[in-house]
Amino acid sequence: MVIEVDRDRCEGFGFCEQAAPSVFELDENGELHVLVSEVPSADEPAATTAIHLCPVAALHSN
Amino acid sequence: MTTLESEVDLFAPENVADPFAVLDRLRELGPAVHLAQHDFWLLTRYDDVRRAAADWKTFSSAQGVALTPQFNEQLAGSVLATDPPEHDQLRAVLSEKLAPRGLAAIRAQVREYATRLVDELVARGHFDGVTDLAAVYPVNVVADLVGLPQEGRELLHPGADASFAAFGPWGPYVQQHLQILQSYHGWMAAMADRSRLAPGSWGEVVMAAVDDGQLTERAAHSTLGAYMTAGMDTTVNAIGALLQLFAEQPVVWETLKTDPALAGPAFEEILRLESPVQGFWRLTTADTEIDGIRVPAGSRVMLHWAAANRDPRHYPEPGTFDIRRNPLDHLSFGHGVHGCAGQALARLEAKTLIETLLARVERFELSGEVLRRGNPIVRGLQSLPLTAHR
């Protein structure tokens, strides 16, 4: 699973970081970083929840 | 393919007073039901409503998100009633201020105001949870941020309430509030004169975007209007509903007293349960299918947030307030491209208020009759007489 962030949509709500802290991180400027190039299978359920929780549907996976 | 039709009038007074029973029936009737009364399609199931909200290409906002052509004409060109890329340009003007990272700058200001207001009300002991608190607090927070003068602020909440009603059918509620609607629009138009906006305010940022050529004057007015309206009735009614819950279900307040970290989840759950904004409309740009039901191109479709938020397919025991549910995926703020731009501010306001009350109030008690508003689009209270025990 690879995460794609739509940078034009992301406004830094941070639900993804709460749901999957090992995959998503907001820095001190509220900028979102995806910490892994490929999500380890153990983290896939949390990453899927994170994608679902994004209020502006800025996260996708493939 | 089948078509489902219903004669139910979703906006009849009895269905506005208690929408949930009729929404349950319509949700079970089928995934997309054509309502003959006002000629629109209704989506009520969580997955369908969410998918439609995310699919802005098929479910377009560009022809307006209200039911009637008259009001859609007024909305034209605003952040609510455009699709990308035009929408994104309008949203970008304030998104940095409204995003969580932008709100850090105003945290202390909101807390200071909440403290001042709550101290005064708690000292009084008896107050109206709606007219003295819920309808005062977000109004002044937003008006301060936008940089509006004190004078005329009393128009903001009634004006926003009437504006929301105008998203629905041309019915008695809108007609009874036409005068307020006119005064509100007149006042807002006067406020777009930047000499009246406080320096450094969000209002000034919007007007500066006109100078930069980023926005037309008209788009600036409609965008400011959209944010003002959206910043009022939603938060006002969510807070009103929370206060009613605290008075009617003391166990919820006791749980919060023991564990104040549940303030956030309590707000999410009341948003899910009450859905202050019941829903908005879209227009289909192509023939589409909702779980086997064909909806033709050019149909007006209501995405019913309140119905979706109580879909038992998604939330078990949907009619129950469960403080530990923390339903962060509820649709009360919509979803996707048009997902509420001010949701982080709403959360900041609510959480700050709950925390301020927790530190000062032992328990709430109802001290009179609870009155509901008859607004067909925004669900909320008119009056909530309370006693706050210290």
pLDDT tens digits for range A41-56: 999 999 999 999 999 9
pLDDT at residue B234, rounded to an integer? 87
CA distance B51 to chain A (A): 10
Domain with residue B237: its CATH number is 1.10.630.10
In which band, very low, low, confident or very high, does the pLDDT at B379 lie, cut at 50, 70 and 90? very high
Question: Is the model's pLDDT at B235 over the cut of 90?
Answer: yes
Report residue B2 as tokens: 């089948």
Closest residue in B to A53 (Cα) is: B329
Express as a percent the part of chain B with pLDDT over 70: 99
Domains: count for chain B: 1
Q: Residue B1: is its pLDDT beyond 70? A: no
Average pLDDT (A18-36) is: 95
Cα Rg for chain A, rounded, in angstroms? 10
Q: Is the pTM of this model over 0.90?
A: yes
Average pLDDT, chain A: 96
What mean pLDDT do residues B264-277 have? 98
Closest CB from A9, A13, A57 relative to B100: A13
> Quick check: bond before B172 cis, omega within 30?
no
Please tell me if residue B99 touches chain A, with a CB cutoff of 8 Å.
Answer: yes
| A30: chain B residues, CB-CB within 8 Å | 99-102
Closest CA to B87 of B103, B73, B76: B76
Q: Can you spell out the DSSP letters for B332-348?
A: TT--GGGS-TTHHHHHH
> Average pLDDT in the B350-358 region?
98
Is the per-residue pLDDT at B2 higher than 80? no
pLDDT band (50, 70, 90) for residue B376: very high
Inter-chain residue contact B98 with A11, CB threshold 8 Å? yes
Angle at Cα B241 formed by Cα B349 and Cα B101, nearest 5°? 20
Cβ contacts (< 8 Å) between B54 and chain A: which residues? 57
Q: If contacts are CB pairs under 8 Å, which of residues 26-55 in chain A contact chain B? A: 29-31, 52-53, 55
Tell me whether residues B99 and A30 touch, CB distance under 8 A: yes
C-alpha span between B347 and B344 (Å, rounded): 5
DSSP 8-state code for residue B262: G
Closest CA to B183 of B169, B162, B209, B208: B162
How many angstroms separate the CA atoms of B264 and B351, rounded? Answer: 6
Domain boundaries, position B196:
5-389
What per-residue confidence (pLDDT) applies to B227? Answer: 85
Please answer yes or no on whether A55 and B95 come within 8 Å at the CB atom. no
Q: Could you say which DSSP state residue B165 is in?
A: H
The Cα B250–Cα B366 span in angstroms is: 11
User: CA-nearest residue of chain B to A6?
Assistant: B337
Average pLDDT over residues B2-30: 94
Residue of B88, B90, B337 to mutate when probing chain A, most A C-beta within 10 A:
B337
How sure is the predictor about B190, in pLDDT bands with cuts at 50, 70 and 90? confident
**β-strand A32-34 against B32-35: which pairing, if any?**
unpaired
- Does B217 have pLDDT greater than 90? no
pLDDT, tens digit, 9 for 90 and up, residues B65-117: 999 999 999 888 889 999 999 999 999 988 888 999 889 889 999 999 999 99
